[in-house]
Amino acid sequence: MPHIDAVENAHADLGLLAGGLAIITGGASGIGYAIAEAAVDRGLHVVVVDIEADAIQRAVAQLQAEAGSNGVEVFGCEADVSDPASVRNARERIDAQFPGRSISLLCCNAGVGGGGGVLTASEIDWDFVLGVNVKGVAHFVREFVPRMLTQDGPGSVVTTASQDGLCAAQGVYGVSKHACVALTEALHGEVANRLSVHVLCPNVVATNIVTSERNRPARFGGPVESGPTTSVREKIAERFRQMGMPPSRCAEMVFDAISSGVFYILAEAEEDPGYVYLEAETRMRAILDGTRPYRPRSEFIASVFDLRDA
């Protein structure tokens, strides 16, 4: 396989994507919703895929006005990304809603936090976190990318991993995000230059990922309604909302990467410049130097998780 330069992993003229579909998982809130807004602004028809029906309705209603003025359509589609049958059903509904329309952007953004440590996580914890963060990406890639490879128009695939996918991993969540990065790297190699492929690796973002247990399906044990851990999680979630990077900034980075060809999108918080780069560099240096894994300290992230004054 020939070497692929960054510029070849790009659609320099984003206008060429206009008129196609932007299918966005986890699209009803957070980074996914911000990408949906940016896609509408760029003339893409948007499919908001999410597990939360009420959130889908709100997101679609909020996007409708701008979509109308741009001459594009917004379609809501409820799906559980961890369930291949649910994903297959979503594809059938999307195909029926937009027969024959090319897919300009497949954004596998849905993700969950938590899971606990690798020594303490239960089988169900592993299944839940890997089911969404890894297999959820694989399910959508399997259902939509083969079609994208046969279409006439250009297309891009973007996955949302995390800074935790580039640095020394912590817990089940870190394992899942390393796997998401690896999956996206593998996809990039398989599609060569027929599609552009990118992985978003954000720092702390103002989203609801800390409380993603609220959407835990029954087959994975269902949502945790109350308890000491829930209280701590809510406090940390509020810190994310107060201190995290605006999701709109991540969305802009995504479209910048599609235009420039950047594969690894290091979405660093303004309060923490260079930290995601430092994490990746530190991990790779440990590999190359034969030393032990180490995650450098971030004062910003420490302050997000410091609840002494909360």
pLDDT at 3: 39
Q: 40-44, 81-85, 152-156, 240-244 — which is least confidently predicted?
A: 240-244
Query: Residue ranges per domain, the chain?
Result: 6-305
% pLDDT > 90, the chain? 80
pLDDT averaged over every residue in the chain: 93
Pairing of strands 156-160, 196-202: parallel
pLDDT at 8: 85
CB 189 within 8 A of CB 209: no
In the chain the first and final C-alpha atoms are separated, in Å, by: 53
pTM to 2 decimals? Answer: 0.93
Token duo for residue 78: 């409820």
Residue 226 in this model has a pLDDT that exceeds 70: no
H helices, E strands: number in the chain = 10, 7
pLDDT band, residue 82 (cuts 50/70/90): very high
**Angle in degrees, 0-180, between the axes of helices 135-150 and 84-97, rounded to the nearest 10:** 30
pLDDT at 295: 95
Q: Nearest 5°: phi and psi at 179?
A: -65, -35
pLDDT band, residue 65 (cuts 50/70/90): confident
Rg (CA), the chain: 19
Cα–Cα dist 198/128, whole Å: 24
Contacts of 278 (CB under 8 A, 6+ apart): 296
Taking residues 103-123, what's their average pLDDT? 96
Residue 117 in this model has a pLDDT that exceeds 50: yes
The answer as to CATH 3.40.50.720 being correct for domain 6-305 is yes
pLDDT at 86: 98
Residue 310 in this model has a pLDDT that exceeds 70: no
How buried is 33 (Cβ within 10 angstroms: 0-12 exposed, 13-18 middle, 19+ buried)? Answer: buried
Question: What order do you get walking across the sheet with 264-267 strand by strand?
Answer: 74-78, 45-50, 21-25, 103-108, 156-160, 196-202, 264-267
pLDDT at 4: 44
Taking residues 94-121, what's their average pLDDT? 96
pLDDT band, residue 1 (cuts 50/70/90): very low
Token duo for residue 300: 């910003």
CA 34 to chain centre: 11
List, for residues 140-199, the tens digit of each pLDDT value: 999 999 999 999 889 999 999 999 999 999 999 999 999 999 999 999 999 988 999 999
Place of tokens 């003025």: 69
E strands along 152-211, which residues?
156-160, 196-202
Contacts of 14 (CB under 8 A, 6+ apart): 42, 255, 258, 259
